[in-house]
């Protein structure tokens, strides 16, 4: 057997060794497809997300159909882009947000999230350490949610053509047999449950931008919800609808539900949990916490007969310790959400017009 020349052995070892980024900021060369780009991907992305599928470094992730079919009978697929400003804010950052946001979009369909992609658009001049910090946060969030980031893409644009860093994540999961979660399932007599305090994310971003002379301890509620959804489905396969209340808050989610099923939804003002600090921010700025964005809150609609078991299961999970029942589904008026105040009066909670706070996620 012919032995390879020692020089070729050293070259092969060098090629297998993971490359390192030497630059301190992102340059256009990092998006050129050459060695600088390979070093960036190898060091920051592959080095962080390392798993058997990603390590193949193909143009796509190859996933066994048998692995998927063993978990359910339908595939759930979603994608979302994240442009939040600032990149880092109390309680979280754009990296964890990109992972948790896509995980949660899958989870509220009843799916078990499995695999994510990660595509980034980098502005020329972005500090490499900022990118490294974001990707490390994505790694930690993926591990916490039990998903793998298996493919991705990197683009670099000229300075001024983007704002530091944008991320797109797509995700796939599998819906178990017997699970059917859809807004079209909602029926009069159902109850509305949420898993905790509302508006934390929106208020945290608003304060973090430093445009207001306000100082609070409010932190984003950014967290994965797939574990909480599992806890709910373990005690109630008859969940009629679930949705994570991100942009537009629970008011927008509930209006979408009411329109989809042509039912009315009555909320009870004194049952809706909102932190005093968030209420204070809203009062100062004339905002309504029902419309503030959340990144770790979901709205669940179940038959009233299952409400106690669902609430108990939610409260037993860290992401649902403050779960509570906040309303009920009515036959009329169809397509409308209304709020019963502490004084007994009722007002319509309409769909959000415009945007209370842009670049919230």
Q: Residue 246: CB partners within 8 Å, gap ≥ 6?
A: 101, 293, 294, 295, 360, 361
Instruction: Label each residue of 230-244 as H, E or C.
Output: HHHHHHCCCCCEEEE
- As a whole number, mean pLDDT of residues 222-227 equals 98
- Give residue-wise pLDDT tens across range 255-269: 999 999 999 999 999
What are the chain's domains?
23-175 (3.30.1330.10), 183-348 (3.90.650.10)
The pLDDT-based confidence of 12 (bands split at 50, 70, 90) is very low
Measured between alpha carbons, how far is 193 from 52 in angstroms, rounded to an integer?
39
- Backbone phi, then psi, for 52, in 5-degree steps? -55, -35
Most confident of 3-12, 211-220, 272-281: 272-281
Does residue 330 carry a pLDDT above 70? yes
Q: Which SS3 state, helix, strand or coil, does residue 7 take?
A: helix
How far, rounded to the nearest angstrom, does the alpha carbon of residue 43 sit from its chain's CA centroid? 25
Instruction: Supply the DSSP string of 253-272, one letter for each residue.
Output: HHHHHHHHHT-EEEEEGGGS
Question: Is the pLDDT score of 10 beyond 90?
Answer: no
What is the pLDDT confidence band of residue 4, given thresholds at 50, 70 and 90?
low
Quick one: pLDDT at residue 264? 97
Q: Please say if the pLDDT value at position 275 is more than 90.
A: yes
pLDDT confidence band for 57 (50 / 70 / 90): confident
Check whether 14 has a pLDDT greater than 50: no
Confidence of residue 6 (pLDDT cuts 50, 70, 90): low
pLDDT at 139 over 60: yes
What is the DSSP code (8-state) at residue 25?
Answer: B
| Residue range 37-55, pLDDT digits in tens | 999 999 999 999 999 999 8
Bigger pLDDT: 33 vs 94: 94
Rounded to whole angstroms, how far apart are CA atoms 113 and 245?
A: 18
Answer yes or no: are the C-beta atoms of 325 and 192 closer than 8 Å: yes
Q: Name residue 92's beta-bridge partners.
A: 89
Q: Are 169 and 82 in contact (CB under 8 A)?
A: yes
- 38-44, long-range: CB < 8 A, 24+ apart: 40/154, 41/154, 42/18, 43/18, 43/19, 44/128, 44/131, 44/132, 44/135
Q: What is the average per-residue pLDDT within 81-100?
A: 98
Report d(CA 347, CA 224) in Å as an integer.
33
Instruction: Return mean pLDDT, the chain.
Output: 93
Tell which residue, 176, 141, 224, 171, has the closest CA to residue 61: 171
Structure token digits, residue 125? 């001049």
Calpha distance 292→206 (Å, rounded): 10
Q: Is 107 helix (H, G, I), strand (E, B) or coil?
A: helix
Instruction: Kindly state the helix (H) or strand (E) to which residue 287 belongs, with its residue range.
Output: none
Q: What is the predicted pLDDT for the residue at 8?
A: 47
pLDDT at 342: 84
**The predicted structure's pLDDT at residue 48:** 95
Instruction: Give the DSSP per-residue string, 152-214.
Output: EEEEEE-TTSSSSEEEEEEEEEEEPTT----GGG--TT-EEEE-S-SSHHHHHHHHHTT-SS-
φ, ψ of residue 249 to 5 degrees: the values are 65, -170
346 has pLDDT over 70: yes
In this model, does residue 213 exceed pLDDT 80?
no
**Would the pLDDT of 5 be above 60?**
no
**CA–centroid distance for 6 within its chain:** 50
Confidence at 354, pLDDT banded by 50, 70, 90: confident
DSSP letter assigned to residue 115: E
pLDDT of residue 352: 81
Q: What percent of the chain has a predicted confidence (pLDDT) above 90?
A: 86
Residue 3 CB burial class (10 angstroms; 0-12, 13-18, ≥19): exposed
295: exposed, middle or buried (Cβ count in 10 Å: 0-12, 13-18, 19+): buried
| Secondary structure E strands in 41-111 | 74-82, 88-89, 92-93
Q: Summarize the confidence of residues 289-298 as an average pLDDT.
A: 97
Tell me the per-residue pLDDT of 172-206, one tens digit each, with 9 for 90 and over.
Answer: 999 999 999 999 999 999 999 999 999 999 999 99
């Amino acid at each position: 057997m012919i032995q390879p020349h020692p020089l070729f052995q050293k070259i092969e070892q060098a090629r297998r060794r993971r490359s390192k980024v030497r630059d301190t900021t992102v340059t256009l060369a990092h998006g050129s497809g050459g060695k600088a780009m390979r070093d960036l991907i190898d060091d920051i992305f592959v080095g962080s997300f390392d798993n058997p599928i990603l390590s193949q470094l193909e143009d796509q992730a190859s996933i066994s159909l048998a692995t998927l079919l063993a978990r359910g009978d339908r595939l759930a697929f979603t994608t979302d882009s994240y442009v939040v400003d600032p990149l880092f804010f109390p309680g979280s950052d754009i990296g964890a947000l990109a992972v948790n946001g896509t995980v949660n979009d899958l989870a509220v369909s009843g799916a078990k999230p499995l695999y994510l992609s990660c595509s980034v658009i980098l502005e020329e001049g972005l500090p490499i350490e900022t990118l490294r910090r974001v990707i490390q946060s994505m790694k930690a969030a993926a591990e916490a949610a039990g998903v793998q980031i298996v493919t991705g893409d990197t683009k670099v644009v000229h300075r001024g053509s983007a704002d530091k860093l944008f991320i797109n994540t797509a995700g796939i999961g599998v819906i178990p047999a017997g699970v059917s979660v859809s807004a079209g399932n909602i029926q009069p007599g159902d109850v509305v449950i949420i898993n905790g305090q509302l508006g934390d994310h929106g208020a945290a971003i608003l304060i973090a931008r430093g445009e207001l002379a306000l100082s609070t301890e409010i932190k984003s509620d950014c967290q994965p919800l797939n574990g909480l959804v599992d806890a709910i489905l373990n005690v109630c396969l008859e969940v009629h609808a679930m949705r994570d209340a991100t942009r537009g808050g629970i008011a927008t989610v509930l209006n979408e539900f009411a329109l989809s099923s042509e039912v009315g939804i009555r909320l009870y003002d004194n049952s809706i949990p909102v932190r005093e600090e968030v209420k204070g921010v809203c009062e100062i700025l004339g905002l309504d916490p029902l419309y503030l964005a959340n990144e770790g809150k979901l709205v669940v609609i179940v038959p009233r007969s299952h409400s106690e078991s669902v609430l108990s299961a939610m409260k037993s999970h860290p992401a649902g310790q403050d779960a509570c029942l906040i309303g009920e589904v009515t036959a009329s008026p169809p397509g409308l959400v209304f709020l019963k105040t502490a004084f007994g009066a009722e007002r319509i909670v309409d769909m959000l017009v415009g945007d209370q706070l842009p670049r919230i996620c």
